Amino acid sequence: MLENLVVAGRFPNRSEAIRVSIRDLIKLEYLIDERIDGEKKSSIIESKVQNEVEENVFT
């Protein structure tokens, strides 16, 4: 696979293809983690708001 990318001219050599692949993988993992963290924070905030609303309605 790496050789095919180099032969096709997408990368100057195998090392560069590996570097770019690892960089992109790290970026992707970071973005996935950020999204998951954001969803967790959003869910926690929604739960707190819901609890406060219920407390205010029922008291």
**Ordered DSSP codes for the chain:** -HHHHHHTTSSSSHHHHHHHHHHHHHHHHHHHHHHHHHHHHHHHHHHHHHHHHHHHHH-
User: For residues 54 and 11, which has the higher predicted lDDT (pLDDT)?
Assistant: 11
pLDDT at res. 39: 73
Please work out, in degrees rounded to the nearest 5, the angle formed at the alpha carbon of residue 45 by the alpha carbons of 39 and 49.
145
Which residue is associated with the tokens 């959003």? Answer: 42
- pLDDT category of residue 58 using cuts at 50, 70 and 90: low
Q: Taking the model in full, what pTM does it have? A: 0.58
The full set of domain ranges for the chain reads 2-58
Please state, in angstroms and rounded to a whole number, the distance separating the CA atoms of residues 45 and 52.
11
